[in-house]
Structure 1
Amino acid sequence: MASRLNPYIAFDGNAREAMEFYHEVLGGKLELGTFADFGSSESPDADRIMHATLTTADGFTVMAWDVPERVPFDPGTNVALYLGGDDPGLREYFEGLSAGGTVAMPLRKQIWGDEAGTLVDRFGITWMFNITGTRS
């Protein structure tokens, strides 16, 4: 059996908005389920996202949820989502995800021959990009 590792992002009530934005930029199939959908219709969290999965044609999988109100939400800065490869279309993802966010390091050629850049999207999530260049 194969294993895989994907990011699972916690949000404080705006998981739906974030995942719809990621879906708009990255494409693919988005599945959203609220706490009510999973049987917690009487919960104060009923309308929050309990589980969301975005699966793209490029093979990306991003998962997310809204932390329940009873659970402390303390976002960290030690986690980033990494998109890398040789597909020039990654530049479009960089531009799309930077809308409303902050580009920390513009996408440009680096000393190792690849294009790399970093941004923080409008939801406070850090994205790191590396587009493989032609090696000499």
Structure 2
Amino acid sequence: MTVQLTAFLMMDGKAKQAIEFYKEALDASVLFSQTYGDAPENPESPLPANRRDLVAHAVLKIGMATVMVADRLPGRPHRSGNQVQICMTTDEKEKAIRYYEALKQEGQVEMPLQQTHFSPGVAIVADKFGIVFQIVTMTSEEAAIRGHQKDR
């Protein structure tokens, strides 16, 4: 696996309800789910108590497709057009850097390329057409299937 594109549905506090709905309506199965409270605490940016139970990342299997679902990051406003994003995963950090640099030209960086607790390189950028891409580096096939690194 060098590059994989996956639809990423960004919810405004209703990801758990959406997941339950898709399980019933589309026979979706939950491959992975994690709340914001499950992630390591960042002392520089403490998580408000009312965000801890919101979904930070979930992976659903619907037929042959994988769909990711999450509640919007704390402090990220909801705006028309960013509910569905493209999550681009690669196992090559150099490719993540190249895609990031290309997509940000005439676009808007929402989160600069950086290391996180779940990946050695993550960025969120809206390209010049307003399409939002989440660029994520995964270092194993298992992580790519889950949509995040298991241990960091």
- TM-score for the superposition, normalised by structure 1: 0.49
Per the normalisation by structure 2, the TM-score is 0.44
Higher relative contact order (CA closer than 8 Å, sequence separation 6+): 2
Larger fraction in helix: 2
